[in-house]
Amino acid sequence: MTDTKSSSASATVVTVGTLLFDGFELLDVFGPLEMFGLLEDRVRLVMLAEDPGLVRSHQGPVALADSALGEVRRLDVLLVPGGMGTRREVLNREFLAGLAAAAQASAYVSSVCTGSALLARAGLLDGKRATSNKRAFGWVKSQGPKVDWVAEARWVEDGKFFTSSGVAAGMDMALGLIERLFDRAMSEEIANRAEYEWHSDRHHDPFAKLNGLI
């Protein structure tokens, strides 16, 4: 994290870099970014992609990546969404190499939904506990046979890696990361400002049973 000083006090500025690729899931990106964005002057949000420019989501709307993945030097948080585009990117060696380099240079690495398949395919989750979208759990597991996949979890923390279940779970994980970066009071304040009911128990996961995983 970068420390900046104002005339009254010093504040911690957290840099969050979100990785975009064609076919990303909208809420996987903008749900967590809403939570981080409510930190206001305590956060800097940057959008990354293999190449800068417009990137189309699975649902159709586009987002602008202002930096290339290969230009990443250091991030406090790297956010990797899921989406149907992950099925293509798990076969993209250059993309995975760039992801691995960016992850190694980041203080924390997080994924939402099938984004954990990208982390797994890049070899970043070997020997670590992780989770993913329960409807796509079998496919995600096949991308990382050396990963300790946790079927029942809203999100999983293992060292600097935070991986969440499907789509909306990314917002809960983001608040968990904010708690790690700041404190519990900050996460609760952000959730209240968003009028969001935070599922703060990362082990609570009704969707694992719903999808026959337990």
pTM of the predicted model as reported, rounded to 2 decimal places: 0.94
Above pLDDT 70, what percent of the chain?
A: 95
Is residue 125 assigned to a domain?
yes
Asked if pLDDT for residue 10 goes beyond 50, the answer is no
Q: Taking Cα atoms as reference points, which of 42, 40, 37 lies closest to residue 4?
A: 42
Is residue 2 assigned to a domain?
no
| CA gap 137, 174 in Å, rounded | 21
How does pLDDT run across 33-48, given as a tens digit for each residue?
999 999 999 999 999 9
Is residue 52 assigned to a domain?
yes
142 CB-near residues (< 8 Å, 6+ apart): none
Q: Taking Cα atoms as reference points, which of 179, 180, 204 lies closest to residue 190?
A: 179
Check which CATH number belongs to the domain holding 31 and give it.
3.40.50.880
Rg (CA), the chain: 16
- Per-residue model confidence (pLDDT) at position 1: 57
Token pair in block for residue 111: 């994924």
Is residue 117 assigned to a domain?
yes
Is residue 28 assigned to a domain?
yes
Asked if pLDDT for residue 4 goes beyond 50, the answer is no
How does pLDDT run across 176-194, given as a tens digit for each residue?
999 999 999 999 999 999 9
Token pair in block for residue 71: 């230009």
- Per-residue model confidence (pLDDT) at position 72: 87
How does pLDDT run across 90-136, given as a tens digit for each residue?
999 999 999 999 999 999 999 999 999 999 999 999 999 999 999 99
How does pLDDT run across 138-149, given as a tens digit for each residue?
999 999 999 999
Q: Which residues constitute the domain of residue 36?
A: 13-204
For the chain, where are the alpha helices, taking DSSP H only?
Answer: 26-37, 86-89, 93-104, 115-121, 137-142, 169-181, 184-193, 206-210
- Per-residue model confidence (pLDDT) at position 7: 31
Is residue 153 assigned to a domain?
yes
- Per-residue model confidence (pLDDT) at position 9: 34
Asked if pLDDT for residue 137 goes beyond 60, the answer is yes
Is residue 90 assigned to a domain?
yes
Instruction: Give 12's pLDDT tier (boundaries 50, 70, 90).
Output: confident
- Per-residue model confidence (pLDDT) at position 8: 29
How many structural domains comprise the chain?
Answer: 1
